Structure 1
Amino acid sequence: MPTYADLNMAPPKSWDEFEDIVCSAAKNRWRNADFARHGRQGQRQDGVDVFGNDDQGRLVGLQCKNTVSGLSREVVLDEVGKAESFKPDLAHLYVVTTGPTDKPLQEFVRELSQTRAQGSKFKVSVLFWNDVWQDLTLDESRLFQHYPQLKPATAANEPTHDQRLYEELKALLAFDPTVRLFRDHDFRGPFSRAAIRPLFEFYDTWDSPEREFMDPELQEGLAKLYAIGGRLAEGLAMRTVPVGNGDFASVFSDNQRARGPRPPEVIEDARVLNEEAREFVPVYERFMRRCREKLVR
């Protein structure tokens, strides 16, 4: 059965689009989402358009050449020379071209890389459009970001991945009772442990690749919500204890209450939790409203 990798897709004509595609392909090739484009248009690139760490933690750079007609040896040597100035030093430079696979050029680059390695200089490889395409198809979500026309059509009434994710999040981290408690409660007093349990489940389970939005804006919003929610969850775990019959929790333990007035550290714990809760609520509200705007039809 044919796969996306089998498609004979033409390379992009735009150099800017090509660099974006190469960045996504690099993330897939080395399983590292931290690859990034180097600087912006008009800034000196030092022979590197995209950089990041490979799957062994070594710094690699990619120089993108939108040269459909092919890549010359002179251009490769010129880009290698420029990349010598990149800081910190590269372990490997990949010259990436939109051109077709060129066996003589591959041989030239292999010999060049071997000579450089003997002199303790970074290695060099060449990647052709076919290599980039193969890497890009390793992750369909990134493939569809650049080629949305390839995404299979869904049935009219079938929810998308993002719509299902939004409904799952609404069911788990509903406004009532969890977020309402964070909005209205003063943590100087006790609160229901059951009411905050969804926040802990959110923090425990929503950092997996299966729970990432396809929409970049929504995924960025989820990441922010997760970070702020995580700080609040950790604060609640560290600063509160069960009180009474165990159904409630408080910064002010039963033993401390029996000994007298609240000590300064208890007052400080309540202040911090109130601050973290007030920070969490507006981020939650903005994110859920944006999800509704984009996903509810």
Structure 2
Amino acid sequence: MNQVQIFMPPPANWQDFQTLIADVAKSKYIEDSVQEYGRQGQSQNGVDVYAVDTLEKHIGIQCKETKSSRLKIKNINDEINKAKNFKPALDLFIIATTARIDAGLQSHVNQINSTNTIKFKVQLWFWDDINQFINRSHAVMSSSYKAFQEFFGASEVKNHLGAIRLSFDRNAFTDDFMLERNYQDFEQALVATKAMLKTGFLYDSWSKNLVAQTIPSSMIGDEQYQKFVCKIEASLEAIYQSFLRDVKKEAKSPGHLVERAGHYNIERRKLITVINAKLQEFNLSKINTQYLIS
């Protein structure tokens, strides 16, 4: 099964780490409010990045690049004490670190928050958390990890295309529409395939088991491949909307969908032809349909 997330290495120096955290903050809070606060050697009152959220809460972030040393409870306490003097007064103080998750430090911060002895809440962002933020934001991935994204994407295009093949090599797309036993099954297949193209997850309509898992195409650094996926999505959406309209007509005029079988054979065949052309580029076996069109 393909991985969903890319695990990026932390930045090599504190300057790049601070810029990365500012980019993450822009993706989570009001973008225009985000500032890299002060510079090295100036009094920053524990804050490297400042932001405001949609509730007008003030957020301060301290960046701890810990490659050469580990984050300790004393470091946390010292930074909290500095942040008490920050103006405007903070509602949330975050310590972002390149260190991996540490249960002892988490427990310490949870204890601080439970006592309500300071006016702001405290959070720890470990590298595991930051890595998730990066994966969820295409903008952050592109700005801070573009080369890494492109390298990863080159190896993942084939995996993603394989998932597309699984999605379309099913009876709902390969059998003659005249043989469709249940029009609800066809609709469910359309919905499941649309979801797979957006999320990377394909579930079996009957068992609800996960059939295929890949990364969303937006995380692949291949512009031409993303255009291909957009074309597939547009064609699939057109079939779906056409089918919804025909279902309404079927309710008033039974037999209408049977009359439309030829249309759906043609449209599905066009779509699969486009997919097969891309499969051929990557030496993947093509999808065979069980119907002919004139």
Structure 2 length-normalised TM: 0.48
> Which structure exhibits the higher relative contact order, with contacts defined as CA atoms closer than 8 Å and separated by 6 or more residues?
2
